[in-house]
Every structure is written in C-alpha cells, then in structure tokens.
Chain A
Amino acid sequence: MPEWLEVVIRSLLFVVVLFLITKWLGKKQLSELSFFEYVVGITIGSIGAEVITGLERNMFNGIIGIVVFAAIPFLAGLLSLKSKTFRDFIEGRATVFIKDGKIMEENLKKEKYTTDELLELLRKRDVFKVADVEFALLEPTGDLSVMLKKENQPLTPKDVNLTVASVKEPQTVIMDGEILDEPLSTIGRSRNWLKTELEKQGVTIENVFLGQVDSYGELTVDLFDDKLQVPSPQEKPLILSTMKKCQADLELFALGTEAKEAKQMYSKNSEKLQEAINKVTPILRG
C-alpha cells in the first residue's frame, strides 16, 4: 500500500472516531467549560494528528489513547453530577472581582489578572466605566459575568409598571419555498390554512423564502423577491381601533339621548368597554 493511501485511510478513520467521541461527550466538550474538557480537547487533537501522519506507529494504539482520554472527562462529569466538592475541585470556583462596586485587588492578583485585562473583560461586556458595576465575577471558564448597578441596568417593562402580553415562541412554517409540516402541526394548523393566509397576503408559496407564525396565529413572510412589499399584519391594530371608535360612539349616544334610562345604559356600557380596551391593549398593540 503506498504511503499516501495509508494517510488517507487513517485520516478518514480518525475523522469518524473523533466525530463519534465528540458526539458521545456532548455539547459540554465543545464549549470547553472546565479544565478537563480543555485538556482533553488539546490532547485528543494531538494524538489524532500524530497517528495520522506517523506511519511507523500502530494506528490502534492511537485510538486506544483517544478513547481513554475521552473516558476521563466522561467519568469526571458523572462524578461531578453527584458531588459538589468534587465539582468545585475539578471545575474550579468563580472568583469575585468586583463587589459592592469596589475592585477586589487581592483576588485579581490571585488569578493573575492585570487591571488592563479586567478592563478588557469589562469592555467585552459593554461596560466602559468601572463605577457602573455593582458586582463582577470571573467564572471558571474565564468569562466575566457582570451585574450593573440598578440605575445602569436596562429598563424593563416591570420598571415602568407596564403590562405586556406574554408570547410563545414563533414557529417557522415555510423554508426555501417549502412547507414544513411538523411545526405547522405543532401549532395545530393545516396546509390549507397556510395557503389561505398566503393568498390573503397575495404571495405564492414558491416566492416565500421564510415564513413564521407567531403565537397569535399571524403569518409573517420574507420573499425571495425583495422588491415586493408585503403588507404587515393589520388585524390586531384594526380590532383595537374599532373598539375605541365604538367606545367613543357610546359616549356620544350617552350625551345625545334625552331618555334617562338609555343615558345610564350607554354610559355604563362605554365604561365597561373602556375597561376592556385597557385590559386588551397590551395584546392588540403588539
């Protein structure tokens, strides 16, 4: 067998072996969360490269080495699921860098981080001013987690007492002009429904690059032909504005009528409708 052919065969074999092992170890290996995964990643890679090109070596010794190295983080993972002490030992603990808005110089020294590196990590989290930080922590993986002071945190609807409608995740029902049946049945819709919705918007299925249905059953599409304008869904704002109009009408009737009983009925109902509008606005506005 010529040497080059052997290299090809070994390469193909090792691609398969490495693929299977990474699958087996799971996503954690890919993110290299802990010391073990980091070391194992490097070592397995080196063994693979050595054995593929070093033709004088036995290929199967290489595979054994890889399997052993893959087994160690697997076992360590199982053990660290059981014991917190073991987990702290293997994966390390987070180090507090900033507490109560003050930099912990001792901890910085312990982890051998310079002030410049701390500033760099903060900048990566979009923090340019140390005074904005309430609490920051160096994770075992080397990432910095930052909690800003309350006044520097982004404003949320809760902060301004705003009620917002809760939403579920949208489902992608059309991809590259083809209907995806599984997500469609997840939201309990049929192909016919989808075709009617597309007809309403005046587009053909072949022209749709991507179509999504939100939790209110509204279909939004992106077309292959970017020159075409797709109307944005108007149903919900339309309901809201009609409700408001009817409420105003009721108020007008209440003012206009002479009959006392009818006046009362109109104003009672206009109040009722106003309450309903207030309640439903967060949903219909979106």
Chain B
Amino acid sequence: MTIASEVKKSLASLKGIEADLSSLALRTQDHESKRTLHETMMVVHEVVTDLKKRVGELEREEFQYKGF
C-alpha cells in the first residue's frame, strides 16, 4: 500500500467517526454531553478537511493512484 492509499483509508475512517459522533449527538438527551459530542465532531471535521487537502496533493504526486 502506498502512503496515498493509507491516508485515504484514515480519511474514510475519520469521516465515519464524524458521522457516528453526529448521530450520537443527535440522539443524546443530556445537553452537556450533546454539546461535547458536537464540539468533538467539529474538531474531527477540521481534521477531515486538512486530510482531504493532503490527499489532493498526494494524488498529484502519485498520479497512478488517483481515485475516489
């Protein structure tokens, strides 16, 4: 596996976490926990944005692995 695909894998996992946290936050009744979960989701979202950018750069470098 190349680095690009490794990064892509992590990116996919993080996106999954983001979605899971979001759905958990929606289902949670307690306001304090709801807020914490939501804030965590936002942080994960920032990380996802940065990684996406990096994936774009990597794709330019290793062009043969371009995809998704």
Contact = CB atoms under 8 A, between A and B. Distances in A.
Given A262-B54, A272-B46, A215 B6 contact: no
A246 interface: yes
Given A246-B14, A262-B54, A273 B47 contact: yes
Contact of B33 (A266, A268, A273, A283): A283
Nearest to B57: A262
Interface residues of A, number: 33
A257 B57 CA distance: 13
Interface residue tally of chain B, by bracket? 20 to 34
A283 B3 contact: no
Interface string A255-269: 011000010011011
B47 to A, nearest CB: 5
Given A165-B33, A215-B33, A253-B3, A242 B28 contact: no
Contact of A246 (B17, B30, B53): B17
Contacts of B36: 165, 279-280, 283
A245 B13 contact: yes
Interface string B34-68: 00110110011011001101100100000000000
13 contacts: A165-B32, A168-B29, A217-B27, A236-B24, A238-B20, A239-B24, A243-B17, A257-B3, A262-B54, A265-B50, A273-B43, A276-B44, A283-B36
Interface of B: 3, 6-7, 9-10, 13-14, 16-17, 20-21, 24, 27-30, 32-33, 36-37, 39-40, 43-44, 46-47, 50-51, 53-54, 57
